[in-house]
Every structure is written in C-alpha cells, then in structure tokens.
Structure 1
C-alpha cells in the first residue's frame, strides 16, 4: 500500500491513542464534550457577547459624542456644568474638563483586546476629534478623553456601559456543568470497564487452572450476559474435567491390575531365557501408561501455591544426574512464583530428563523477567533439534531425527506434556540453540496469584 500523508498521520495517531477500553472510553466522552463546550463558547462570544459589547460600546460612544458636541456648541463653564449634571443623572457618566491639557501619549490595552477594539471602533465612528481611552487602569470604569481646542474633556464611565461584564459567569457555569457531566460519565464508564476487567481476570485465572469463587456477573446487561455465559462454560468444562479424571483413575486401576498380575507371575515363575526381556517390556509398558495418563490428565485440578524456583530446579537436577549427566543449577535463592507444583515438576523433569538423555552437560537456570514473571531455561550440549522442527517437537507422539528422538522409554509425549503444563500456567515454551551447543528450552511464566 502506498503511503500518503493521511496514512502517515493515521498511523501516528494510532500509535499514540490509548489501547485500553478505559482510555478509549474516556476519549469517546471527553473529546465530544470538549468540542461541544468549545463550539458553545465560540457561538456565545461570537453571537452574544461580542454583539452585546458592540451595542454597549456604540451607546457609550454616542453619549461621549453628545457631551463633546454639546461642549463645542457652547464652551462656557455654565454649559459645562449643565452637561456634567445631565450626564451624571441620565447616563452615569462622570465628566471633567482639563484646561490646557493634551491627550496622553502612552496607551494600555487589555490582554485579549476584544473590548478595546470594539470601543475604539465605536468612538471612531462617532467622534471627529482625537481621543484616548483606557480600559485597564480602573477595574470597574473606563477612562475616555476627547481633545478639545482649549483642553481635554475627560469622561469616566462604568465598565458595564462598555462591555457585557457577566460573560465570565456564563463561561464559569458552563465549565462547572461540563466538569460535573464528565465526573458522572467517568464514574459510570469506570464501573462498566471494571466489570469487563473482572470478567477478563476470571477467564485468565480459569485458563491457568485457578479458582475464582467470588466472581459474579455485574455491570451492564450485555456484560452480565457474557459473564453468565463464561460461568456456564466453566461449569461444563469443570464437569468434563472431573468426569475425565474419574474415568482415568478407573482406567489406571484397570490397566495396572493385570500388569501387576503379570509381574507377580513372572516373579514366581522358574527362571527362563526370556524373563529379563519380559521384565523390561513390562517396565516400558508401565512407563508408557504413566505418560499417557499424565498427558490426558494434565494435573488441571491441582491448586496453585507459591514455589521456590531454585528448590524445584535442584530436584529436577538430581533426577538428571541419576541419568548420568553433569548438571549445573543457576537461580536466585529467593525467586518464587505461584504455580501447580506437581504438574510443573513433571514438566521440568521431562525437559531435564530429555536434556540428560541426549547430552553430557545440562544447565538449569532461572531469572526474573523485566515485565514480571519468571523465565526458566534448560540447556544441554547434545545434538539439538533443527530450527524448522521446533514446533514438530511439541506434537504428541512426535519422533524426530534419530540423533535425538530415540525415546527409549517414552512415546513422544514429554515435550507435549511440558508445553501443556506451561500454557496451563498462562506461559509457553520455546526452543532455541544453547550456548552449550545443544538444545535450549525456555519456559516463560507470568506472575500468577496465589
């Protein structure tokens, strides 16, 4: 796709927009409210405040022009006194004549300049004489001066005669109403998002095999419906797991009973040439039954608890040493994480045993992840597995090339069981090339809750 300026801008915006439902919900509420407030404020100032201010300024400019023209018609003290009296009584204007004075040279204007521009335009349209004005020196008044031949006519007018002074109250009430509206909307959206977050947390915990007994549907009708559907699904899955566990226990008993009888008959039988071979076959059959049942059972019903990673690595190292490998353990003494101990020990023993059976040196290490959680690495110096066959190694009953896949006592379920356990804890297993020259299996587990 050819990049256009619009596409570049869209990608830039997408990278900076919030990704959470909470953040996007806030934007959906805040942006329209701010646009509406800006539009209302603009319309108010353009259609009301400026228009009213313009009318007021024109009225004040007309009164100032009347005073200046009346004085020009009869520039005597008697006429000035009459003008001052009438302006005070009827127009709220305070007029004084400054004899032999000129207009000030300096000028002071307001920060926005809207009032100044409006008043200046009104005075220019009504006065022929030079004038000067100040809207900032006195907070409640406007100072206007008109140049006369023999001096300056100074006029002090109330500020409300030139500008609509109550506009800020409207804007203040508008801001207060907007803040209240946003507060109510934020509280409402937060409650709805919290319901979705609880549902997501419950689903994630159930995926790790953890129980969430206090979870109950709440929030909007659609969210409650989704939560109820999740609870129904969890019940059906749990019922299926319980039925499967009971069936596997029965199958295990039924399979082991004839196997035990065969062992007993073999032990009581007179020595013969094939006895040792038959005993090895029964050992292999028992190991195969254990692997089948472990793969099908998955230890899903086991509760989670905090486990010290170094301790569990040491136990796996002992089993690997019994297989004849030289094992090194590298892990902090205080590194712990919540997991299902029996299931995870089985997965770790499978990986460590697999490494010990194909290499002479095995290294078990663990470390904290910057994003939270733990990474456990099992390495060996064996022949390894080609990169394009890493995923094939995790398939149940999969056997790879002869250099690594001659699972003399198994049926190709060790790696599948290990990945199933890791994913059941919310993590995963990846394969790579070890620094020792062989295979490296990395288990990444998120920080779970006890």
Structure 2
C-alpha cells in the first residue's frame, strides 16, 4: 500500500479546514467535546455496561440452568408446576414445557450484537443441552428455549434480567450536557467574533472614506484594545487629512493668484509674437496644478451616495465627444452603486479622456457582477499599451509616450488618480486588450 507523505496530508487537511475565525474557533470547541464524549461513551460501554450486562446474563443463565437441572431430576408435570411457581415468585421467570417441539432453525439477533454474544456465552457455559434464545421477539422479554427429551423447555425472562436497560439514560444525559455546553461556547465565541467583525467593517469603511460614528469597542479585552487603537489611529489620520486639505486649499489659492495676474497682464498687453505661446504655457501650468492637487487631495472627504451608472457614463461620454472621439455608451438602466459622485466621475473622465486622446472610437459599458458589484469598461481603438507595461501605466508621473503617441498635456497622473479613486471605493482597475484593437480599462466596484 502506498503511503501518503505527511506534507501532502497536511496540505489536504489545511484546504478542508475553515478559514474564518468563527469556523476555526467552533472547530476548537467541537472536536475536543466530540472526542471527550466518544471516549466517555466508549469507556462507559466497555467498562460498565458490558460488565453489568455480563453479570446479569450469567445470573440469568444460572437460574435457567437451575430450572433445567431441577426438571431433569423429575420430568413430571407436578415437578414442573413446582419449578414454575418457585421461578415466578423468586426470580421472575415464566417456565413452560412444550411437548413435541424442537428448537427454531433460524436465529434472531438484535441490533446490539454484544447483548446476544454475552447471553450466548453465559448460557453455553451453564447448559449442556442445545438451546436457542431471542432478545428481539418480545420488546420487554428474553425468550430462551432448551431442548429436552420429548420437547422444549421454554423460559421467558424480563429483559432487565439479561441487559442493563438504563444505559441509554446515561448517554442521553451526556448528550444533553454536551449540547448545553456547546451552546454556551458557541454563543460566547459568536459574541467575540462579532466584535472582531465590527472592527473589520469599521476599518474597511474608513478605508473607503466613510466614518462610523456609532462604532464602539466591545468584546474581550484584547479586542477592545485593538478597537481603541484603531479609533486613535483613525482620529490621527483624519486630522492629517484635514490639515492636508487646508494646506492644499492654501497652496491652490497661492498658486492660482499669480497665474490669474499673469493671465490678466497677458490679456491687457499689446499683441506680440510670443503671446500665444505664453498663453499655452499658462494653460499647461494651470492644468498641471489641477492634476497635482487632485492627486494629492484624492477626493477623500466626499460622502458616498447611491448613483445610477447609466447617466454617469452618458455624462462622461459627452466629455469624450468634445475631445473629438466617437463615444458609444452601453449600460443597463437601473444599475446603481454607492459611490462618491465627484471622485468617481473624475476617475472615469480621466480614463475616457485618455481613451479619446489616443483613439477615434471609445466604448463605455457597465454590467452587474454575480458577486454583487459592478464592472465598468472603457475601451478605445488606439495603439494600446504592451502587456508588460500595464502596471507601469498606473505609476504617478508615468507617461508611456512610446506606445501612446506622446501625451502632450498633463504630467502622467490621470491613471494614478483613477486607480487611487477606485481603490478608495474598495475596487480596483486592471488593463487588457480591447476588442476594438486598443486598450481596455476594467473598473470593478463594490455594489
């Protein structure tokens, strides 16, 4: 026989084990309780029940042997009547002689084989004559028949004379105690796991930019300590975000003020040869400032709302049409998701603007996912990006000029901003080859 290596067996067992804390904690409780119950039950049946049953069977076999031997000493009807009367009064046995009968040919054995084996061994040790017995013919009695010259001596004994009939009560009480203990343990584990789940939900919501004001630490001391540490961390991060937002607002004001003065002076100055070039430089500087601020801010302070996807894609498609591309929008009506409107609109506009800048035909589509989220795809018929450079396309300040025809406007933050926004919603963006021949951006968002 081929033995399975322990490493393979360990991997197979690991795949079968539950992955959640709730399942593993429950397994830690259930397995020891089941092992203990099995060990106690086995010890009870092996050391107590079988021993008691053997003693009872030996006692019954001795009484049957006494009745058979006494009858054999004087096989008369008068002696049989005396034996039957004494057996009925003293040892609760009903004895009768059936003339002309023989032992049944078929054996009748019960579902618990140890009872029949024990009684058979006891009778075989006390009787010299052929015998037959049944523990199942009558629910409350044991039928024992012994072959005699001219017939069969039949003995009917109460079942409790041969079997310890109260054993099931012990097993029942053991099972009830086990169920009670496991129920208490399950409730306790569930409360502890629920506290960890709420902490995970609060952390995930904060990662999406949502605050959970009603979150309160509870559960075991260690769980409360982790929740308290998370709340302190959340407050520090929130203060940092607020300070950064205030700083960005100040920087935005300070940078736009001299740009506005330059634009005004350029408009009021007499016409000269470099005026249009200087105007283009100002436009590019303003666009760069917008991209820097948008990337640094991340639109994290906006509250999520339930948004219908079809109108959102139609509005995004209009910006692509203004860029000179032919835009096709495919979205089922009624498809909604909880999103931050301005942030997700900016992310999709960056993706669609990138597609419109490098292709003549752009397709925006959306569909629901079986997991409960939604999938939005932005495709174009442009030159595309090599698969080896898909990850590089999302790096800040990355401009894949060789494959995307020189992105003349911007600083390479559009894709990075889009991925930052989508991941802030709990989703992600991946790139693939489009059916149109260019690039396909796949945006997956939770429902």
TM, length-normalised to structure 1: 0.95
Aligned to 2:279: 279
SS in 1 for 2:390: helix
Q: CA deviation at 1:35?
A: 1.5
Residue 365 of structure 2: SS of its match in structure 1? Answer: strand
Q: How big is each residue's C-alpha offset from its partner over 1:27-49, in whole Å with a ceiling of 9 and x where there is no partner? A: 22112211111111111111110
Report the alpha carbon displacement of residue 426 of structure 1 after superposing the two structures with TM: 0.8
Q: Deviations over 1:82-114 (max 9, x none)?
A: 322322222121222223332233332212222
**CA distance in structure 1 between the partners assigned to 2:364 and 2:133 by the alignment:** 86
Say yes or no: does 1:343 pair with 2:337.
Answer: no
Q: Is this contact kept in 2: 1:399–1:405, CA < 8 A?
A: no
Query: Aligned residue for 2:35?
Result: 35
| Partners of 1:81 and 1:441 in 2: CA distance | 102
Q: How far apart in 1 are the matches of 2:364 and 2:146?
A: 95
Structure 2 Cα separation of the partners of residues 81 and 327 of structure 1 = 111
> Match for residue 255 of structure 2?
255
**Helix, strand or coil for the counterpart of 1:96?**
strand
Query: Which SS does the other structure have where 2:132 is aligned?
Result: strand
SS at match of 1:109: coil
Superposed displacement of residue 193, structure 1: 1.2
The whole-number CA distance in structure 2 between the counterparts of 1:201 and 1:445 is 17
* Corresponding residue number in structure 1 for 2:196: 196
In structure 2, runs of 5+ residues without a counterpart are none
* Equivalence for 1:96: 96
Residue 56 of structure 1 corresponds to which residue in structure 2?
56
Q: Which residue of 1 aligns with 2:265?
A: 265
CA distance 1:395–1:405, shift in 2 (3 Å): farther
Alpha-carbon contact 1:84-1:96 (below 8 Å) kept? yes
C-alpha distance in structure 1 between counterparts of 2:370 and 2:417, whole Å: 27
2:134: which partner in 1? 134
Q: Deviations over 1:400-437 (max 9, x none)?
A: 23441622221111111011001101111111111111
Contact 2:401/2:407, CA 8 A, preserved across alignment: no
Separation of aligned partners in 2, 1:401 and 1:76: 121
Count of paired positions: 445
Structure 1 residues 128-174: Cα deviation after superposition (integer angstroms, max 9, x where no partner): 01112121122221111222223322211111110101001111111
* Aligned position for 1:233: 233
> How big is the shift at 1:241?
0.3
Q: Secondary structure at the match of 2:391?
A: helix
Aligned to 1:372: 372
Greater shift after overlay, 93-102 or 59-68? 93-102
**Kept after mapping to 2: 8 A contact 1:325/1:359:** yes
Find the aligned partners of 1:218 and 1:268 in 2 and give their Cα distance. 66
Per the alignment, in what secondary structure is the counterpart of residue 92 of structure 1? coil
1:434-445 paired onto structure 2 within 5 Å = 434-445=434-445
- Residue in 2 that maps onto 1:107: 107
1:71-90 equivalent positions in 2, closer than 5 A? 71-90=71-90
Q: Tell me how far apart the structure 2 counterparts of residues 100 and 368 of structure 1 sit (CA, whole Å).
A: 86
Distance 1:327 1:66, change over 3 A: same
Q: Which residue of 2 aligns with 1:243?
A: 243
Is the 1:319–1:349 Cα contact (8 Å) retained in structure 2?
Answer: yes
- Aligned mates of 2:385, 2:138 — CA distance in 1: 88
State the shift of 1:444 in Å: 0.9
Deviations 1:58-102 (A, max 9, x none): 011011111111111222333323322322222121222223332
Q: Which residue in the other structure is 2:26 paired with?
A: 26
What are the superposed Cα offsets for residues 220-254 of structure 1, whole Å, 9 maximum, x if unpaired?
11111111111111111111000000110011111
How large is the Cα RMSD of the aligned pairs? 1.5
Conserved 8 A contact 2:135-2:142 = yes
Aligned-partner SS, 1:306: strand
Matched, 1:223 2:213: no
Distance 2:135 2:66 in 1: 21
Cα contact 1:430–1:443 (8 A) shared by 2: yes
- Report the CA distance shift for 1:146/1:403 in structure 2 as closer, same or farther (over 3 A): closer
